[in-house]
Structure 1
Amino acid sequence: MKKLVAVLAAALVPAAVVTPMAAAAPVDVLDSVNTFIGTQDEGNTFPGASAPFGMTQVSPIGSHYAGYQYTDTAIRGFGHFFLSGAGCWEQGGLVSTLPRTGTFDPGQPSTFDQTKYASPYTHDGEVGQPGYYKVHLTGYGGIDVETTATTRTGLERYTFDQSGPAHVFVNTGQANDKEPVSGSSVRIVDNRTVEGTVESQAFCGGKPYTTYFRTTFDKPFTSYGTWSPTGGTPGSRESAGGAGLRGAWLTFDNPGSVTASTAISYVDADGARRNLAAEGNRDFDRVKAATQRTWRQELSSVDITGGTSDKRTVFYTSLYHTLLQPLTGNDVDGRYRGFDNQVHRAVGWTYYQYFSLWDTYRSQNQLLALLRPGRAHDIAQSILAIHDQGGWLPRWAYANQETNTMTGDPVTPFLVDLWRFGALRGLEGQAYQALLQNSTQIPPASSPFQGRSGNESYQANGFVQYDPNFPKKGQDTDPNHGASATLEYALADCSLSIMARGLGKTKDAQALAAKGQNYRVLWDSTVTDRGFTGFPRPKVTGGDWFTPADGPYTPEGQDGFHEGTAWQYQWLTQQDIPGLVQRMGGQQATAARLDDFFAYSDLLADPAKTVREEWVTGPYNYYNQFRYNPNNEPDLHSPWMYALIGQPWKTSTVVRAAHTLFTNAPNGVTGNDDLGEMSAWYVFSALGLYPAVPGTGQFVLSAPEFAKAVVHLENGRSVVLKAGGADASQLQYVQGLRVNGVPSDRAYVSLEQLTRGSTLDFRLTTDAAKATWATGPGGAPPSPCG
């Protein structure tokens, strides 16, 4: 969601900076991660330190709403909460700390404005690795800052080039750019400790929420003071109030270096104290080593062989970004703040929070479930806890509130896939009842959740009406984007029908499968564009087709579709390929439409140029488009539509071309990374398999990017993907496949085949004429709701 286009890396920074880790094939997988990828052109990642799925992150703050961007010239501070790749403003950077030296005037309020006391820095020697970040501040006489993190704490080590007094500013009143802080407090506890609160705005216009923190230093400070909007007071131990400048400064006599440990909690001050006692106040290097060991274990769940150093870096950085979220939500004692704003306790499991479901239901969710089904079970249990405490299932859950951001029904395919992957064992009945409620009902007006706000029309008429003035409880509501919401509902209902059938609920399964075809209700066979006839078209209340006031309806317009057009959303019908093909005029006509959508002939001639000049057209440019948009989620699965209609070699063409957008550079993520979704898309597609149809457990295949990949599963078995001669620099196609030594003419494998442990041996060719593999009857997977 909320994408900006990526541009050529060479136009941004010198080549030597673009690939700071482009060395010979490294031995340590951590050396194949570049956390600066995605820190420019709205990738919105952060380069700082985090543990896998950590509650606390420590990363620099610059001039961007996501925190840091590579072209910034100054660092304002080091914050302790960040989202990776999200699209809206209000993205954290809470509890901003900055070391400095020299004198300052506490009487001037501007002295404590981080936009003014920010320090210049250099990219020379800057390091971004999993669990570790280092930068040299060139201001204040020169200061090295290193950061690392545990699950619930962040550590910074400040090493001063100059001798003499040094200060640390702890800023609670400011955070990332465009992150409103509506209230904060800070208190000097003793000569090593400060604690306080930050009340800040939740993501995408949500409600304010409170973060508690506690920071300790490994050395005592000898003097201190606090500031408020009117200026600073030396010797003051407390400052508290509403919006405005607020914080504390701490002065150390000739410290050489100082290490700070900060823990946060969403429960209370005791939570932050306990988190710090359990995970903080440790030697920096030992924490760094332990966290990097954990990262090494996580990243080594996939071993790849072959490819250039840059390609390995892109792959492992993508895997790294996928494993950052959702975030741990409970304190070390198991307590967490629920969606009823009460304190609950997770006993024997981890409560997770921050769910960007509209994005992550498409592939990030499945990648986590494949690699770590135990963690996926806790994720599912967390979603169900939201339902129990809040009364409804979420769409975009930020901390302990529903933001009602984005549209459709993403939680259904999200949870159904977790069921399909075995991550709902013991929770199947509870999950199914919550999903059925969500599918068929609407939350009461008093509920903060919107759920399927278009359900009244959808259940009665098979479509969500297009009504741009429909009231909403948050940023978005489904009737404002009625056509795309209808397609999202239908896809979700089809996935739920698979679960219903698996649970023996035959009657429900039949009804839900029928709703899975509701996209047909919006298919207007009279609409023609670019020589193709028949497109989804919004309907208004009463059932009439929507027609703009200023002219005829065009499938390239914005009306009725969320962050996309009818051209992109027409492919969000992967649950019913026979029905779609029939409406498009047959297999060849459907293929011709896909060819036009991807500019296929141009791709064959020059893949890299075509994707940048014909697919990626401009920042936030969702509308007036008829091409594939690789920057955003609605059509991410569409390359595999070729395989679903019997032309799998073209899937390989499109995927290879799309991979040119992922580079070892600050702008090397296409669009916002959306809490790991775009990165997960790359990981799956580079491996040569993709979960294109929710709920089915089917992985549709294409030419892998690496000669060999081994996916180590949690059950001790492995998936081995071999593709001798794989070369990401050219277009390649699958000529043949053996699964566990047996020839296969199917363009898909099942989840069960993978989890039992399998070897997929691809035979590749550069000659499309030889790529007849999986083009016959039975080559494509069956449609679950066809």
Structure 2
Amino acid sequence: MAFAPAPVRAGGSEDLATLVNTFIGTRDEGNTFPGASAPFGMIQVSPTGSHYAGWRDGDERIRGFGRSYLSGAGCWEQGGQVSVLPVTGVIGPGGDFDTRNADSFDHRKYGARYRHDPDGGQAGYYRVRLTDYGGIDVEATALARAAAERYTWAPGAATGHVLVDVGQANEKHRVIGSEIRLVGDRAVEGKVTTLSFCGGHQYATWFRIEFDRPFASFGVWGQAGGTPGARYSMESEYEPFNGAWLSFDLAGARSVTATSAISHVDLEGARANLRAEAKRDGRLLTFDAMRGAAQQAWRDALSKVRVEGGSRDDRVVFYTALYHALLQPLTGSDADGRYRGYDDAIHVADGWTYHEFFSLWDTYRSQNQLLALLEPRRARDIGRSLLAIDAQGGWLPKWGYADFDTNTMTGDPVTPFLVDLWRYGALDGREDAAWAALRRNAWEVPPLLSRSEGRAGNAGYLRDGFVVFDRTFPAKGMDVDPHNGGSATLEYALADCALAQMADALGKHDDAAALRARGGNWRNVWDPALAEPESGFTGFPRPRLADGAWFTPPTGAYSPRSHYGFHEGTAWQYQWLVPQDVPGLARAMGGRDAMARRLDAFFAYDELLADPANAARKAWVGGAYSYYGQYRYNPNNEPTMHVPTLYSLVGQPWKTATVLHAVQTLFTNAPNGVTGNDDLGTMSAFYLFGAMGFSPLMPGSGRMLLHPPRFDRVTLELEGGRRLVVKADGARSPQPRYVASVALDGKPQAATWLPVERLMQGGKLEYMLSERPDPAGWGTRKEDIPPALCAAVDPAQSR
């Protein structure tokens, strides 16, 4: 292929930008995108195929290259707007693109077959060969607010066309209305209004595309077909074909570069973003200059963690996971600081960057903590963005998409998310505003006319100590908490305990006491008499009705493996969501030994020992959406993400090591190399913590569990020039390795955990590893385990 060579780092060290493989996660519903983006970029350029999330490995054709994508989300309406495809052929009556028929411009028909090569997806750079239309090479790169594509037609092509499709996007992303206008002989701009994300709300994207050479001819298409020489077209959802073609004379040069920018504010925002990031002295950056800047931005971001040891594939997996974790949330404010708030008004972020697209139900469990550790300035802006959403929209979001709350997912994820930001220092100076927003969220319910749902189950929860299970409860989006009363109760109780930590630190002691008591509300959905014949275990969480009765299906028997009352999971999987009171959970299960036996059954522990390389794929939940009817660990989804750490909290840290080793076998240098939806970097962040040797325990606690890392040496560059080095000789092994001892700055570390504040100071964390576990060794004493943050109290006090 006739592409520019990849840049090479001086000294022969690995180039972290080119070590990334953006094709990881593009198969088996990982839902990552292979195209180009900057860290936390507003704009992405990536192919669109027939998959609902954009492009999937194996799609037959590329329909175009869109401007907007999310990485790893599970909802089906995700971006792809303003789709551009270079082609050849005759545009005219009876031609390859028949201007008499609007459906000649249907991207499902004109999409091109393609061929990728293995290094065509790097951090900040993407390339592909379209094998139709005589062969066309496409390259893409992106900065935070502007992107560029270079199209190179095959020798012999006299005329090349560029189709700009604004009437179609991803397979299920509804374009409600669109307009396009040709400006002069080098630019196209317009607006697209779409309905997005699991039946979400409408929002607008403005765009501008500038070309590095003039059009030889042009036209637009719409419901009436194609019109040569026309400069403007506007269509609705009911006339789905809308766009423009731009034709270039290829006699002098075979390549054309298209530079684009978008905005969620207005057209001037898109223009300003393009001027600010894609031009120097009024001239467009060359493609290679932008690529150089984009990939350097990624080198700077990725170099905040350095790993040594393992194979090259191991390092590709690690840095691709870090890449995925650093893609979101997206930059939301334009180059001039303007952004569109949740009140639909225009605001200005002066001296900071507003962010948008918050997958909080996912990211509060791992990705949030990773950003707070590695990107503290970004974390401060993220926290400030959420508080701006509260101030302008009246409530904190649940799943914030662009400038509205989709209310997708359940529970109260924003509370542990913000409390962790507070714990990591990212809310310094804004604690009072954060507390006011979080307290309102924890004690109240948004009014009916508010788009926000908040804690929709609060009425019953505050009165009775549990969220009533009610499938008839009206929802403002696709999900609402009473539809999943069992899991919502567990999520609320975890959030309450997290918020209690912040309340105490701020001197709100009465509220802290009430929240700690509510942290024990998990007991109110624990049915101690619920027995499962298949496993022999007794005692599971179970949804309750408004009168307090346990829910029973028409069959007359409630199964802990059923779908009733639990969001994307079962009672088997949600029974572990009590990190605030593991001793209480153990007592409910019959004691620590009984809890450990139940964990063994959950993880198929004996099978992991017998076949550590393959057992995880055979024994655990396999499908990305196989939520229900399950009793085993689900590595594809978030509710069980923390469960491997629970072994350490019942005095068996060697089993945590075994399970995390098995988890790591699921992350590979292949298109199916992530588990389930990557969920805006959440599953990748989970892998990264496991590979680095410490993982977050309960959200809001600031506690990090220690366990064997995957690499011999991991170096983290922290704020203020501090550095944390994690050392573990012989960490990479096909067999699990177990912790024999730990030292921090040369001093023995007997406890299985450390406060994150200590890790943030930097230093040297050194593991001595063993090939065999010691059931009486490191981390097995009760004093080695962190105390419960919200130990269970009498149920009468938890209302």
Q: Give the structure-2-normalised TM-score.
A: 0.94
CA distance in 2, matches of 1:275, 1:631: 37
SS in 2 for 1:666: coil
CA displacement 1:611-635 (0-9 Å, x = unmatched): 1122124352111111110000011
1:681 and 2:674 matched = no
Amino acid at match of 2:126: Y
Alpha-carbon distance in 1 for matches of 2:198, 2:334: 25
Q: Which amino acid aligns with 1:321?
A: H
Q: Which amino acid aligns with 2:467?
A: V
Looking at structure 1, the residues matched to 560 and 335 of structure 2 have their Cα atoms a distance apart, in angstroms, of: 52
2:86: which partner in 1?
Answer: 99
Instruction: Letter of the 2:519 partner, please give it.
Output: G
Residue aligned with 1:263, SS = strand
| Between 742-751 and 674-683, the greater mean CA deviation after superposition | 742-751
Of residues 130, 140, 143 in structure 2, which corresponds to 1:147?
Answer: 140
Answering whether residue 597 of structure 2 is matched by residue 592 of structure 1, we say: yes
Task: Quote the offset at 1:31 in angstroms.
Answer: 2.8
CA distance in 1, matches of 2:740, 2:14: 32
Looking at structure 1, the residues matched to 117 and 298 of structure 2 have their Cα atoms a distance apart, in angstroms, of: 25
Change (3 A) 1:626 1:26: farther
> Tell me, what secondary structure is at the counterpart of 1:423?
coil
1:30 corresponds to? 17
For residue 537 of structure 1, what is the aligned residue in structure 2? 542
- Aligned-pair distance for 1:782? 1.4
SS at match of 1:492: helix
Change (3 A) 1:619 1:30: closer
8 Å CA contact retained: 2:613, 2:734: no
Structure-2 change in CA distance of 1:125 and 1:520 (3 Å): closer
Q: CA–CA distance in 1 between the matches of 2:331 and 2:757?
A: 29
Distance 1:756 1:125, change over 3 A: closer
Q: Distance in 2 between matches of 1:505 and 1:427?
A: 16
Offset, 1:771: 7.0
- Aligned partner of residue 314 in structure 1, secondary structure: helix
Residue segments in structure 2 that go unaligned for 5+ positions in a row: 1-11, 91-95, 279-283, 792-799
User: Counterparts of 1:79 and 1:26 in 2: how far apart (Å)?
Assistant: 34
Give the Cα–Cα distance (whole angstroms) in 2 for the partners of residues 770 and 475 of structure 1. Answer: 47
Q: Distance in 2 between matches of 1:126 and 1:647?
A: 42
* Alignment partners' CA distance in 2, 1:284 and 1:568: 49
Distance in 2, Cα, partners of 1:647 & 1:143: 57
Question: Which of 255, 259, 262 is the aligned partner of 2:260?
Answer: 262
Residue 762 (structure 1) aligns with: 767
Does residue 203 in structure 1 map to residue 197 in structure 2?
yes
Aligned to 2:271: 273
Cα displacement (A) at 1:106: 1.6
- Deviates further, 153-162 or 387-396: 153-162
For residues 642 and 613 of structure 2, what CA distance do their matches in structure 1 show? 20
Deviations 1:239-272 (A, max 9, x none): 0021210000001111411000111000111111
Deviation at residue 107 of structure 1 after TM alignment: 1.6
1:550 is matched with 555
Contact in 2 for aligned 1:649/1:771 (Cα 8 Å) = no
1:18-50 CA distance string (max 9 Å, x none): xxxxxxx96211232100000011000001100
Determine whether 1:626 maps to 2:620: no
In 2, Cα distance between the equivalents of 1:674 and 1:125?
24
1:247 and 2:243 aligned:
yes
Q: Check if 1:131 corresponds to 2:124.
A: yes
Q: Which moved more, 1:53-62 or 1:542-551?
A: 542-551
Q: Which residue of 2 aligns with 1:602?
A: 607
Which of 51, 55, 67 is equivalent to 2:42? 55
Instruction: Please give the per-residue CA displacement for 1:25-78, whole angstroms capped at 9, x wherever unaligned.
Output: 962112321000000110000011001000000011111111111112321111
Pick the aligned partner of 1:303 from 306, 310, 317: 306
* Cα deviation, residue 197, structure 1: 0.8
Would the alpha carbon gap of residues 629 and 125 (structure 1) be closer, same or farther in structure 2, given more than 3 Å must change? Answer: closer
Matched, 1:636 2:641: yes
Is the aligned partner of 1:331 residue 2:334?
yes
Secondary structure at the residue paired with 1:476? coil
Match of 1:161 among 140, 149, 154: 154
Per-residue CA distance 1:651-702 (angstroms, 9 max, x = gap): 0000000111100000101000000000000000111111121111110011
2:426 is aligned, of 413, 423, 426, to: 423
C-alpha distance after superposition, 1:65-93 (max 9, x if no partner): 11111112321111000000000111111
Contact 1:125 1:135 in 2 (8 A): no
Q: Distance in 2 between matches of 1:115 and 1:46?
A: 19
1:664 corresponds to 2:662: no
- What residue in structure 2 maps to residue 122 of structure 1? 115
- Aligned-partner Cα distance in 1 for 2:231–2:738: 67
CA RMSD of aligned residues (A): 1.1
SS in 1 for 2:614: helix
Amino acid at match of 2:74: G
Aligned position for 1:9: none
8 Å contact 2:44–2:67 — kept in the other structure?
yes
| Counterpart code for 1:253 | D
User: Do structure 1's residue 312 and structure 2's residue 305 form an aligned pair?
Assistant: no
Give me the whole-angstrom Cα distance separating, in 1, the residues matched to 2:521 and 2:590: 19
Q: Distance in 2 between matches of 1:607 and 1:536?
A: 31
SS of equivalent residue, structure 1 residue 75: coil
Superposed, 1:75-474 pairs within 5 Å as 75-103=62-90, 104=96, 105-124=98-117, 127-162=120-155, 163-243=157-237, 244-254=240-250, 255-280=253-278, 281-474=284-477
Residue equivalent to 1:11: none
Per-residue deviation, 1:582? 1.1
User: Is the partner of 1:264 in helix, strand or coil?
Assistant: strand
User: Which residue in the other structure is 1:8 paired with?
Assistant: none
Give the secondary structure class of the aligned counterpart of 1:763: strand
- SS across alignment from 1:534: strand
Pair 1:125–1:478, CA change in 2 (3 A): closer
Match status 1:478 vs 2:481: yes
State how 1:481-492 maps to structure 2 within 5 Å. 481-492=484-495
395-404 or 549-558: bigger deviation = 549-558
Letter in 2 for 1:547: T
Q: Match for 2:348: what amino acid?
A: R
Check conservation: 1:733, 1:771, Cα contact below 8 A.
no
Partner residue, 1:66: 53
Residues 126 and 136, structure 1, Cα contact 8 Å, conserved in 2: no
Give the partner amino acid of 1:120: R
Question: Alpha-carbon deviations, 1:515-556, whole Å to 9, x = none?
Answer: 001001111110112111111111100111111111311111
- Tell me how far apart the structure 2 counterparts of residues 453 and 131 of structure 1 sit (CA, whole Å): 41
Q: Distance in 1 between matches of 2:118 and 2:198?
A: 35
Deviation at 1:126, TM superposition (A): 5.7
Partner of 1:573: 578
TM-score, length basis structure 1: 0.96
The answer for the alignment partner of 2:3 in structure 1 is none
**Cα distance in structure 1, aligned partners of 2:622 and 2:702:** 34
Once the two structures are overlaid, the 10-residue window that deviates more, 112-121 or 669-678, is 112-121
For 1:687 and 1:260, how far apart are their aligned partners in 2? 40
C-alpha distance after superposition, 1:434-479 (max 9, x if no partner):
0000001000011000000000000011000101111110010000
Q: Report if the CA contact (8 A) 1:96-1:175 is conserved.
A: yes
Q: Which moved more, 1:690-699 or 1:99-108?
A: 99-108
Q: State the percentage of identical aligned residues.
A: 57
